[in-house]
Amino acid sequence: MKKILIVFLIGLWSVTSCTELDILPKNVVSDDDLLSNETGMELYLARMYSYLPIEDFKYTGNWGFNFNSWLGATGIEGTGEALTRDGICRAFIGEDTPYWGMAFTLLRDANHLLETLPDYQGNFSEVTYKHYLGEAYFVRAFVFYTMAKRFGGVPLVTRVIQYPGDGETLEEPRATEEETWNQVLADFDKAAELLKPASPRRGYANKFVALAWKSEAMLYAGCVAKYNQDFTDRLTGFGQKTNVRVIGFAEDSWDAASRKYFREAYRAARAVMTGGGYSLYRKAWSATNREAQYQNMVDMFSDLASPENIYVREYVYPTVTHGYDAYSCPYVFRTVLAGGTCPTLDFVELFEGFSRYPDGSIKVTTGNSNTEGNYVLYDTPMDFFKDAEPRLRACVIFPGDIFRNREIEIRAGVYMGPEPISPLFNDYSYASSTRYQDLPVYTANPKTLYLSPGPGDDQVNVTLPGGATMTAAGENGPWFNDAEGALAGFYGRKWLQTNPSVIPGEGKSAQPFILMRYADVLLNAAEAAVELALAGEPSPTGDDMLQVATNAIKAIQERAGATQLTANLTGDLASRNIVRKERRKELAFEHKTKWDLRRWRVQHEEGRDYFWGEYKDKNEFGSASQYRFRGLYPFYSATSGKYFFDARFQWVGQRTFEYNTVDYYFAIPTGEVTKSPVIDQQPNR
């Protein structure tokens, strides 16, 4: 398409140098060329889809939509899923490439197709013609949805703006947030009405793709309408130039709007569930084999034939590739960089299969907190995780687990002191700033705790009783100099290629990214059902929506190897939180959680108790607008040859995140506000 655009520009120059200006040069690509036949339409649609704002391996919250996989990582935007070694690990409060200008370019393409294709309707069958229009509505809905999540109310450009033109024609002010979400709804509905039930080409939309995205978008809209009201002064405001309510909902409309959007989310999800023919992936699954359950969830993210896949971004080596493995593999496989996605202990604690302290945190000592008793010793690090939920093991590489036919050695240090071993710290709170390298067991002479500042030549070799030697931090760290090791004691497994013959490298990865899958839709249906029940609303489709929600959650839990619900979900906060926590677990590292936290309005100080999908005292992991996450660090005890674990706030390159109320809406790019008489900046910015 870039070549076509170049030819088009050359053609424009040629027109100006022709004597007969009404004769179109032969090297110009016209509407007749593109819109009059299926081959031309394939080119037109390819251009639109190539610029669709999808969040996959080539997206990180820090960069925004620059379609570049540089430093590719997932779950690092202050969501608690993971940390990374780079400065891009920051709260999701804006993007370096704001999704504004490129959005209107894509809207123009979609609007041009909607306005011009009717001139060529006779060239296509009725079904094909409608499908092409449906593609345009889908792309437009997707763009408006992408913008609404970021900015609230946006200019609803639903026509081709002609250039040149007068001011009134060229300028489109921001609509209200409610009008914007209504446009998203209308466009997804129109797309679902027109699109074929099955995509004519892989990677393009169909009826059920549109309905699945509609269910997600309407769930977002319903939450914003509802939970903006939980703020003391309601999260809403007007633009200074137009006096339009550009963020939030009016006091007399939010309730009706939220109910409407939740109804639409449920309807759309149910339509996919009953008519789409999708199902949860179970090709390697066994009800009695936890290893099979784990392997099943590993396989599902690379199987293009999965019945769970609804919308997938495919890559093809060596022409269309990304670099996720190069940046997020364990250090032992390092080619360029490593350790870009390092899950946190807080994330691991969401899952079953661990002993717990009375406060619910994972138990590492014999006492009732990690400052009491002595460390529990294990023959191998993997013994600590022997009962862990299979779904977790498919997401996270544990210390000592096997990945790509190699044991992943993760070790924070070697302890040479006596046993039993008392907790290394007397304060594990958020306020504590003491590091392992500050402890007397490390600074004393002789020392009894050995650490390594970095890999390679910086590794410290420890002589064990009996004369054998061991590196203090193992092959993958963590090392206290903030290198590319397992920063929080784990590496991410989801999305990584498992084939040991594949050598990670920049631009050498070609595994697909699943943008929408059947589990998403089940979770959307369950959450919408509980929200409707909380509001006292009946089922929009006449079924038992709470039974539908319960069955959806149980199906996901069963596939995951988790304990299933023993009672039906109801219209209460406890049920809402069950669904939210399940969503956090199932959709981790898929660019979903950062948006869930925003729509639930649980990332700022006052709402952070429900940051993890369930109640958790915000003071345990944050202070005011700032918060941090913990790691789980394995140490080798030379006396017994066993391992113990220490749980504390991330030790290496401490990452602190900050989030304020204003951050639930991104700022409009300053240049757009400055140059326009009608584009308003967000209130209070």
pLDDT in tens, 587-607: 999 999 999 999 999 999 999
In a domain, 200, yes or no: yes
Question: Both 190 and 63 in a single domain?
Answer: yes
pLDDT at 25: 63
From start to end of 518-656, where are the E strands?
622-623, 626-627, 630-637, 642-649
How crowded is residue 670: how many other Cβ atoms within 10 Å of its Cβ?
A: 11
Higher pLDDT, 18 or 494: 494
Q: How confident is the model at residue 125 (pLDDT cuts 50, 70, 90)?
A: very high
Residue 20 has pLDDT above 50, yes or no: no
The H or E element containing residue 16 is helix 2-16
The answer for residues whose C-beta is within 8 angstroms of residue 446's C-beta and 6 or more apart is none
pLDDT at 19: 36
Contact 192, 214 (CB under 8 A): yes
Question: Both 13 and 97 in a single domain?
Answer: no
What is the average per-residue pLDDT within 163-172? 72
The answer for residues whose C-beta is within 8 angstroms of residue 34's C-beta and 6 or more apart is 40, 41, 43, 44
pLDDT at 8: 37
pLDDT at 502: 86
For the stretch 500-538, pLDDT in tens is: 988 899 999 999 999 999 999 999 999 999 999 999 999
**Which of 249, 277, 305 delimits the end of a domain?**
277
pLDDT at 684: 87
In a domain, 435, yes or no: no
Question: Both 29 and 51 in a single domain?
Answer: no
Q: How confident is the model at residue 162 (pLDDT cuts 50, 70, 90)?
A: confident
Q: Output the average pLDDT for the chain.
A: 94
**Closest by CA position to 56, among listed 413, 600, 589, 650:** 589
What is the average per-residue pLDDT within 51-77? 95
The C-alpha atoms of residue 162 and residue 140 are separated, in whole angstroms, by: 18
Give the domain CATH number at 231: 1.25.40
Q: Which two tokens stand for residue 62?
A: 């820090």
From start to end of 66-210, where are the E strands?
82-83
Contact 580, 614 (CB under 8 A): yes
State the Rg of the chain over Cα.
27
In a domain, 495, yes or no: no
pLDDT at 164: 72
In a domain, 237, yes or no: yes
In a domain, 439, yes or no: no
Higher pLDDT, 170 or 3: 170
Residues linked to residue 365 through DSSP beta bridges, in sequence order:
375
Q: How confident is the model at residue 168 (pLDDT cuts 50, 70, 90)?
A: low
For the stretch 549-585, pLDDT in tens is: 999 999 999 999 999 999 999 999 999 999 999 999 9
Question: Both 187 and 117 in a single domain?
Answer: yes
The C-alpha atoms of residue 111 and residue 133 are separated, in whole angstroms, by: 10
pLDDT at 23: 54
pLDDT at 3: 39
pLDDT at 2: 39
Q: Name the DSSP class of 219.
A: H
In a domain, 378, yes or no: no
Question: Both 127 and 4 in a single domain?
Answer: no
For the stretch 451-508, pLDDT in tens is: 999 999 999 999 999 999 999 999 999 999 988 999 999 999 999 999 998 889 999 9
Contact 489, 510 (CB under 8 A): no
In a domain, 83, yes or no: yes
Residue 29, domain extent:
1-35
pLDDT at 7: 37
pLDDT at 65: 96
**Which of 220, 254, 277 delimits the end of a domain?**
277
Higher pLDDT, 633 or 19: 633
In a domain, 235, yes or no: yes
Question: Both 13 and 73 in a single domain?
Answer: no
pLDDT at 170: 80
**Closest by CA position to 30, among listed 48, 49, 12:** 12
**Which of 227, 259, 277 delimits the end of a domain?**
277
- Number of domains composing the chain: 2
Question: Both 4 and 131 in a single domain?
Answer: no
Helices 545-560 and 518-534, axial angle in degrees (round to 10): 140
Residue 4 has pLDDT above 50, yes or no: no
Question: Both 271 and 123 in a single domain?
Answer: yes
Question: Both 221 and 188 in a single domain?
Answer: yes
pLDDT at 165: 67
The H or E element containing residue 309 is strand 309-313
For the stretch 289-337, pLDDT in tens is: 999 999 999 999 999 999 999 999 999 999 999 999 999 999 999 999 9
What is the average per-residue pLDDT within 544-549? 98
For the stretch 364-400, pLDDT in tens is: 999 999 999 999 999 999 999 999 999 999 999 999 9
The C-alpha atoms of residue 199 and residue 219 are separated, in whole angstroms, by: 24
Question: Both 172 and 244 in a single domain?
Answer: yes
Question: Both 118 and 264 in a single domain?
Answer: yes
521 Rama class: left (phi>0) / alpha (psi -120 to 50) / beta:
alpha
Question: Both 81 and 224 in a single domain?
Answer: yes
